[in-house]
Amino acid sequence: MSLSLATSRRRFLTWTGGAAATAAIYGFSTAPAWAEPRFPQNPFTLGIASGDPTPDGIVLWTRLAPEPQAADGRGGMPPYQLQVNWQIAADPEFRTVVKAGSEVATPELAHSVHAEVVGLNPSSDYWFRFRVGSEESQVGHTRTAPAAGSDPGKVTFGLASCQSWAGGRYAAYRTMAQEDLDLVVHVGDYTYEGRNHESLADFRNNHAKYKSSPDLQAAHARFPFVVTFDDHEVENNWAAGMSQPDNEASNEPQRFLQLRANAFQAYYEHLPLRRPQRPTGPDMVLYRGLDYGNLARFHVLDTRQYRSDQLTENFPGGPQHPDVYDPSRTLMVDAQEQWLFQGLASSPARWNVIAQQTMMAQYDYDPSEVLSVNHDQWDGYVVSRNRLTNFIHQQNPANPVILSGDWHAAFVNDVLLDFADPASKIVTTEFVGTSISSGCGWAQSIKNALPNNPHTRYINPDKRGWTRCTVTPEEFRSDYLTVAAAADTTSPAVLDASFAVSNGRPGAQRA
């Protein structure tokens, strides 16, 4: 978006506080004042984003980082606070600025900005930008959620997960950014931990590396994101306070909790999350709900932070451990489970979308009578899965649909009340999105096992991509889009398969 100098000067006058408001605020009594902060380059190197839409608001995100890979993790910023101004307009040229304000960007949070804007109109398109000193960010687009009690005819969103930097970046986001979506739901593995990543600077610079992708930035600049983490934002297969057995920090619980705190803080600093999601040390409340009128309620889960430890690390599967039925084990922890059940029971929505991390349906990797499963997924927490499927069976909330990621492979699954009986009732439908870029070295195992799993309607472990979900009062449709080559950013997305669930009838049908 290029503005002529004269008109952009004039428009700056509408920024909150005008020029005086750009004066530095002292974070430390000894810090020099940046009356007019000057940066070695435009500090908005990591882009901008919006997230967690409500009918009247949105959270706007950016982070000031003129040198995003500075070794100390401070992004080339001085050790004091700065005021960052923002604007929201009803048009991309900012002729009609409807809201403006400012946030203090602090060194403690890596000069990230999380501006929670209220007073907007429901189901409305907005454009936003930031300014610090004389530097201006790119322009982002966002959209608010429909009004409470309204009956939207359609909600369209993208499902994304697993965007390993090494896997190629990011044809999937480039194609996604060309669509007209109401939001993007990201169910984890937004970043992958590096070897020996442990300090806050390590995790910050890893996020900054991912955010250097113009295609990831473009998707964030185009749609509001609703995010939840899985394991790799912290460490492969971590569980609550437990590290992987092969990790150096695993024998030192306090050291792992410090690592987790660093990872959570960097995650918060780099994503459009609201204040209730700001971590306190190693703790972060990430499960939360979002409503899209009477059409869809999103129940966003955190199945990592509170889970019992994995019973085995066998990969991709191994004989089912008898303790998967131990009622003391948990994937969500009681408080989150009760919150979910309450949210389902009280939901005004036609569709209840449960956005979470790992695959929920059983998947048996062994063609013999032995049940061989992956214990990091819900298969390792059968007691938790049974509590949820029994709740749905007995309480009958409207149209639950499960969204998952983690496995770098696309699946469509009918979730059965009892997986031991193929004729058992279908209680809900699961759409597992493939990875944005992460590879699937176990694709052949998945393909070999398909005949053992008649409740699985579709798989594609070979391609990377994203899933477009279209929700109407009549159906929930998922279009599986794959890119020919994840490493080639110009690779187009093609439709591989479409499945739909009809209102009132769980189970996926090819559309």
User: What are the residues binding Fe ion (CB under 5 A)?
Assistant: 162, 189, 438
To Fe ion, the closest distance from the beta carbon of 408 in angstroms equals 6
> Closer CB to Fe ion, residue 59 or residue 162?
162
Instruction: Report the DSSP beta bridge partners of residue 100.
Output: 87
| Closest CB 359 distance from Fe ion, rounded Å | 12
Q: Cβ 269 to Fe ion, closest distance in Å?
A: 21
CB of 192 to Fe ion, least distance (A): 7
Q: Of 189 and 479, which has the nearer Cβ to Fe ion?
A: 189
Burial of 27 (0-12, 13-18, 19+ CB in 10 A): middle
Closest CB to Fe ion among residues 128, 407: 407
Task: Provide the terminal-to-terminal Cα distance of the chain, rounded to the nearest Å.
Answer: 39
List CB contacts of 162: < 8 A, sequence separation 6 or more: 188, 189, 230, 232, 405, 406, 408, 435, 436, 437, 438
Distance CA 482, CA 410 (A): 10
Shortest gap between Cβ of 485 and Fe ion (angstroms)? 19
Copy the structure tokens of residue 12: 């700056």
**Smallest distance from the beta carbon of 260 to Fe ion, in angstroms?**
18
CB of 436 to Fe ion, least distance (A): 9
Beta bridge pairs of residue 143: 125
**Sheet strands side by side (includes 351-355):** 288-292, 296-300, 351-355, 400-404, 426-432, 410-416, 456-460
Q: Cα dihedral sign for 238, 242, 245, 248?
A: positive
CA 135 to chain centre: 29
We find the least distance from the C-beta atom of residue 189 to Fe ion, in angstroms, to be 3
> Which of 162, 333 has the CB closer to Fe ion?
162
Query: Between residues 438 and 467, which has the closer beta carbon with respect to Fe ion?
Result: 438
Q: Which two tokens stand for residue 384?
A: 């938790």
Task: State the helix-helix crossing angle for 382-395 and 334-345, rounded to 10 degrees.
Answer: 20
Between 58 and 162, name the residue whose CB sits nearer to Fe ion.
162
**163 or 320: CB nearest Fe ion:** 163
**Amino acid identity at 248:** E
Residue closer to Fe ion by CB (options 162, 416) is 162
Least distance CB 212 / Fe ion (angstroms): 20
Tokens matching residue 110: 């890596």
Do residues 51 and 226 touch, judged by C-beta distance below 8 A?
yes
Give CA–CA dist 74/66, Å, rounded: 10
Rank residues 127 and 225 by Cβ distance to Fe ion and give the closer one: 225
